[in-house]
Chains A and B, each alone.
Chain A
Amino acid sequence: MIFVTVGNHFQGFERLLKKVDEISPRIPNEILVQKGYSKYVPQNTKYFDFVPLSMAMEYLQKSDLVISHAGIGTIILCKEYGIPLLLFPRRKKYREHGTDHQVEIAQVLEKRGDKNIYIVYEEDQLEEKIMEAVGRKEIVETGNRGRENLIRTIKEFIETF
């Protein structure tokens, strides 16, 4: 299954939803869409607006690929479960977010070269990237050193007083 998610942000993400809907008949995998506050109603795939986080995590764990805005929650969870993730950042100029910080996130991850993350900045590249991503099985890196360090630092702080 391919799980498409646009998160909890109050602005819609019509560009991604329209494109996924348009190309979905040509994609071999079943597609499930979380459309959030977007107005566009998918015609060719199953969809919902919001579910509790635990349920979203279930969908995510069943997925062969997750397609998402460059939202932190999805990036973290895909990293944790080792699920390939295709990022398509929201843009300020299309009123998809207040700033272009998602482009910055995508660029910084691209530079770092995470093996499990695919990045697309324009809609017309989506189909090709999706086919590339579902056709590849990457070896997943496990563990999250950053998370361990953060937990240790916070724990130590709590113990100091």
Chain B
Amino acid sequence: MEGEKKIGLICSAGGHFTEMLQLREAFKGHRIFVITYREKATLNQENTYYLETWRSPTGFIVGLMKIFIIFLKEKPDILFSTGSEIAVPPFYLGKFLFRTKLIYLECSAQVYRPSLTGRCVYPITDLFLVQWEFLLKKYGPKAKYVGGLI
């Protein structure tokens, strides 16, 4: 299908956020929005929704509701995440309630061992990329390696 799509970029602060910014060019020509944690390092970004860090079950449920409301408003066609755990609830919500396609890039910090987030989203992700070849065997046939950012 040709044309402009709505793409949600989801990641936590720090290296995950830097990795996401490095790949923004991949989404040129599409409308994008970002979901990240509210931290000093992530402030002042365009089209960004901020979640509070999940420190309690209540905080987690509030975060989940917030993501649901964001998705109702934004109607994403695709979700892309560079990790970490912030990706898991929106990926499951997106997949089963909004029929979004999912792209996940395992962080280049994972050299030999899969991350917990990666293992959680691997079964439902449509394009699953790792940044080190060592990880291909650890994940399975769906995982792809085309290169890394570091």
Chain A residues at the B interface, C-beta cutoff of 8 Å: 7-9, 49-54, 56, 71-77, 79-80, 101-102, 104-105, 108-109, 144-155, 157-159, 161
Contact = CB atoms under 8 A, between A and B. Distances in A.
A102 B113 CA distance: 12
Contact of B146 (A9, A50, A153, A161): A153
Contacts of A159: 2
Contacts of A109: 150
Given A71-B15, A158-B26, A149 B109 contact: no
Interface residues of B, number: 47
Interface stretch (B56-64, B68-76, B90-98, B99-107): B99-107
A104 B39 contact: no
A53 to B, nearest CB: 5
A72 B146 contact: no
Q: Which of B14, B19, B107, B110 has the most CB of A within 10 A?
A: B14
B130 to A, nearest CB: 11
Given A73-B19, A150-B146, 18 more contacts: A8-B13, A8-B39, A52-B42, A53-B17, A53-B21, A56-B41, A72-B16, A72-B150, A74-B15, A76-B15, A76-B108, A101-B110, A146-B147, A147-B149, A150-B23, A158-B26, A159-B2, A161-B101
B111 A105 contact: yes
Contacts of B105: 150
Chain A, interface SS category? helix
A147 B23 contact: yes
Contacts of B131: 146
Nearest to A148: B147
B65 interface: no
Contacts of A147: 22-23, 147, 149
Contact of B147 (A52, A79, A80, A149): A149
A72 B1 contact: no
B19 A76 contact: yes
Nearest to B126: A157
B15 A51 contact: no
Contacts of A79: 150
Given A105-B109, A161-B1, A73 B14 contact: yes
Contacts of B21: 53
Contacts of B147: 145-150
Nearest to B1: A161
A13 B123 CA distance: 35
A153 B129 contact: yes
B78 interface: yes
13 contacts: A7-B15, A72-B15, A73-B15, A73-B19, A76-B22, A109-B150, A147-B22, A147-B147, A149-B146, A150-B147, A154-B103, A157-B127, A161-B101
